[in-house]
């Protein structure tokens, strides 16, 4: 029960990795504020967490909307931990296959949405003199393992993480990027895939590498980084990839 009495916002908390993270925080005593763009997912998660004896509330909306971010933070009241897990993929498209609309949307959700949520959560954190912001990046944030838009957005999330850590460390606020390797999720399952020979060749190469991880393995690291046990960790990009980058 490391998070008993603490309030945790999880964006993208209705599916995939965000769902596992929200459930784990609920199981460890946190008051979980679930954010997702699909209302039914929010309601389902509230039911699952409270049904297991935890505490949860939430509201659906788009993290790229500053008004929604402010509404979510107001609903939370206090924010001890913010997990920016909301994100979309780009179908592993290289630059020449990436349309400008896809580029803008991926950057908007993955980077701008993370910025907007962090900006909103910083107000109550600064007032309290403490807080942890965990931004879900990717191994694509440190190496070119995905398409142009996704890779660029996740590199930028790490840059934003370091900026937040540097500016707010003396205010008692930590900010860390978590960089998962291959983990099955709705991002990978529901996105249209490129079928060009170049992309398929790269996919074949990647599939020879370590087996995919599980959302639980990533959530374990997220909860550790959010806890007081990681109080001296700040401004880093923590790769959790089963050794993928070592291959």
Mind listing the pLDDT tens digit for each residue in 115-169?
999 999 999 999 999 999 999 999 999 998 789 999 999 999 999 999 999 999 9
| Active site (catalytic) residues | 150
The residue ranges of every structural domain in the chain are 7-238
- Residue labelled with tokens 């996740």: 154
pLDDT for 5 equals: 96
pLDDT confidence of 189, banded at 50, 70, 90?
low
In angstroms, the CA 177 to CA 154 distance is 10
Run of H or E including 83: strand 81-84
pLDDT confidence of 24, banded at 50, 70, 90?
very high
Nearest to 146 by CA among 215, 83, 97: 97
Q: Are 11 and 63 in contact (CB under 8 A)?
A: yes
Is the pLDDT at 202 greater than 80? The verdict is: no
Q: Can you name the residues that pair with 240 across neighbouring β-strands? A: 180
- pLDDT, one tens digit per residue, over 36-67 is 999 999 999 999 999 999 999 999 999 999 99
Q: Are 27 and 54 in contact (CB under 8 A)?
A: yes
- pLDDT, one tens digit per residue, over 103-125 is 999 999 999 999 999 999 999 99
CATH number of 7-238: 3.40.50.720
pLDDT for 190 equals: 55
Query: Could you tell me the CA-to-CA distances from 18 to 61, 140, 184, 216, 222 in Å, in that order?
Result: 15, 18, 12, 10, 10
Q: Look at 11-20, 193-202, 222-231 and tell me which has the smallest mean pLDDT.
A: 193-202
Task: State the DSSP code for 165.
Answer: H
Nearest to 89 by CA among 106, 108, 113, 101: 106
């Amino acid at each position: 029960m490391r998070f008993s009495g603490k309030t945790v916002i999880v964006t993208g908390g209705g599916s995939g990795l965000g769902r596992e993270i929200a459930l784990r925080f609920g199981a460890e005593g946190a008051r979980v504020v679930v954010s997702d763009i699909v209302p039914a997912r929010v309601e389902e998660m509230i039911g699952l967490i409270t049904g297991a004896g935890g505490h949860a509330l939430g509201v659906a909306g788009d993290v790229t909307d500053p008004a929604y971010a402010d509404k979510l933070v107001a609903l939370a009241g206090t924010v001890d931990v913010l997990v920016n897990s909301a994100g979309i993929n780009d179908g592993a498209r290289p630059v020449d296959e990436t349309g400008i609309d896809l580029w803008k949307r991926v950057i908007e959700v993955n980077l701008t949405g993370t910025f907007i949520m962090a900006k909103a959560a910083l107000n109550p954190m600064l007032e309290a003199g403490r807080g942890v912001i965990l931004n879900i990046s990717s191994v694509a944030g440190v190496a070119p393992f995905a398409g142009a838009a996704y890779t660029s957005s996740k590199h930028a999330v790490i840059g934003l993480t370091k900026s937040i850590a540097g500016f707010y460390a003396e205010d008692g606020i930590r900010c860390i990027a978590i960089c998962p390797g291959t983990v099955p999720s709705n991002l990978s399952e529901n996105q249209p895939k490129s079928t060009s020979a170049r992309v398929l060749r790269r996919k074949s190469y990647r599939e020879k590498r370590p087996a995919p991880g599980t959302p639980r393995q990533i959530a374990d690291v997220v909860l550790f980084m959010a806890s007081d046990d990681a109080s001296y960790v700040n401004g880093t990009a923590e790769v959790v990839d089963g050794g993928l980058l070592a291959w």
